[in-house]
Amino acid sequence: MAEPGEDLPAPDEDPFLESLMDTSLYSMGAFFSDQHPDLVDEVIAQSEDIEAAGIRGYADEHQMTVEACFETMLTGLAVRYYNAVAG
């Protein structure tokens, strides 16, 4: 914890936040957000639905493969992670 009068790193220079950006999940979220900005809200909503229903339950209900559900859920998680860190 910083002492009174001690300089704190600027938010964009915080070593911990910078380390959060050096992950595959962050990179995946950044890539998807950059390449498909029009689908960000949709993939987040769908991934939240998959989380709520469970991968197998959602796959069965929507005639999707378990693998496709997992990929969608992971993409949504990555985008949320990217948004939270890059904020």
Which tokens is 85 given? 């860190």
Domain ranges of the chain: 14-86
The Cβ-side half-sphere exposure at 25, using a 13 Å CA radius, reads 15
- Better-predicted residue by pLDDT, 1 or 17: 17
pLDDT computed for residue 47 by the predictor: 97
pLDDT, tens digit (0-9, with 9 covering 90-100), for 2-60: 455 555 455 557 787 777 677 789 999 999 999 999 999 999 999 999 999 999 999 99
Confidence of residue 71 (pLDDT cuts 50, 70, 90): very high
3-state helix, strand, coil in the chain (%, to 5): 75, 0, 25
The Cα–Cα gap between 45 and 73 comes to 9
DSSP string, 8-26: PPPGGG-HHHHHHTSSHHH
- Better-predicted residue by pLDDT, 1 or 25: 25
- Better-predicted residue by pLDDT, 87 or 44: 44
C-alpha closest to that of 73 among 87, 86, 60, 59: 59
